[in-house]
Structure 1
């Protein structure tokens, strides 16, 4: 399975994947491309995403994050991105919604980064960063809607959440990264969507078309939560099953019972 994509503040270990944009202050370490879910392996593609689960910390130091210590096999990870495992999550939205789970009850500073991957240059550049003092964690599922930038159809992106547990020891911050692709709306799906105003029907159409982020956005933000309950549980179960930990059932329970907090930036 793919490993966590690791940026670094001061120094970077060399990756097996070359030509990363070293002009950024925070970079992704990319590993070799692996096969996608359909069995194809396009050498022009960046590698599939991680499981979306925090991998401890960059330096193995967890000071200030003792409740998420990776040394404990009985604790739910500090951070879980609500993204499909091993494949690119697809979206139609050029201003997509992102979601993640926080297990810590403490209010921690968060940092969000969005990188655009250039298939020609094989470089990733930072296109969005949020790290203001009001961007803090709450226990449960956090849903972030972006007003900018407008993403490009056909382009691939990486997004990352980092928890700042101790500003004096950034190497101990848990973080996780996921991959996403913006795709175009197909005529058949466009026709089906235009024929229904029912929120569950639309969500199921997105789900059948493997449009993860569109489906998840409806499941987490729609006012008709009762109708969407089964679909929401199914999506969260997929996230739990994609976890590298041995706590899949515990993670699923935590995700399912979580409060949802919506953010706008």
Structure 2
């Protein structure tokens, strides 16, 4: 069974320096029907103007993944961590028992665009930490590239939850199949382009939740980038 979440139905926020689309309830956007899906709590598509960003703010008890699509995101946190996350790079931050961090656009002129993903951890009180890795276009082209997992296998980021996060980039006419194990669920997020999933047409920003389904056949109708969450 597939349930579509259309891009235009998402919550929105526009602060001038930040334009954001919320797949699930977040900040001032609240929809009791979209409070998350399984352990997936937040999928925000953020565009941050040049020379601006999020000042220092706290987080607790959350796995936060930053998937940068365009530009450069600068990160600093209370553990002393500092990094620059470029397009094609992905960062996992475990907020655990408490962390404060800031995120700024690394350019004064050009926007940075990213997906910020929050996943509920499988235990509380974890020590704060972060991890960052690069997944090139070649890594994702025409295959399911494992970006995050519970055990960090296949060079993926380690998240403290039973979730598998895959990314793929497909050329027009290309098809990938994903077999979903029994008692597992999926959330598929279209980053860009147009695809067909089990007969359903989706475009950039659209998503679909999946349950009681054995396999997903994902066909690209144009150049497309897709994230797939395999969830307990």
Which structure dedicates a bigger proportion of its chain to strand? 2
Which structure dedicates a bigger proportion of its chain to helix? 1
Same-fold status (TM-score > 0.5): no
Larger RCO (CA within 8 A; separation ≥ 6): 1
TM-score range, shorter-chain basis?
under 0.3
Normalised to the residue count of structure 1, the TM-score between the two structures is 0.26
